[in-house]
Amino acid sequence: MKTTILALDLGTTTGWALKTRNSQIVHGFVGFKPQRFEGGGMRYLRFRRWLSEVPALADEIQSVYFEEIRRHAGVDAAHVYGGLMATLTTWCEHHNIPYQGVPVGTIKKHVTGKGNAGKDEVIAAMRALGQASAHTSI
């Protein structure tokens, strides 16, 4: 039996990829920047709502993987990441979906053979694997 996997790059603009049971990959990004008159928690409520809409693309999600960030350049980015990760892990626990963080270097090494590969190298490696650069927003 094939597994439906959701992979996330958590941030104000969250990148996502979904591998469906028939091995089709859909991907894109979604923004969670607070709007002018929103309170600080609205970003996380919108993220949780978005997570609840994702299974419509694949019937059911069997596992979630997210890019594990161990160091942030700024305090605000660290706070956003922590809040999104808390929202994600709570959502996964609630829906009984296993989840795991994967370090950035591990992702880069798997794709390019180098744990310290640059963004252009990762993009080139993904294109070589047949992944288009088009994005989908949901």
pLDDT for 48-57, tens place per residue? 999 998 877 7
Structural domains for the chain: 5-128 (3.30.420.10)
pLDDT digits (tens, 9 = 90+) for 121-132: 888 888 888 776
Q: What are phi and psi of 104, to 5 degrees?
A: -55, -45
Extract the tokens encoding 92. 């996964």
Residue 112 corresponds to which amino acid? T
Q: pLDDT category, 108, cuts 50, 70, 90?
A: confident
Q: What's the pLDDT at 31?
A: 94
pTM of the model: 0.83
Tokens, residue 127:
């294109």
pLDDT value of residue 137: 45
Q: What is the CA radius of gyration of the chain?
A: 15
* Positive/negative CA dihedral, 45, 17, 138, 33: positive
Percent of the chain with pLDDT over 90: 42
pLDDT of 2: 67
pLDDT-derived band at 30 (thresholds 50, 70, 90) equals very high
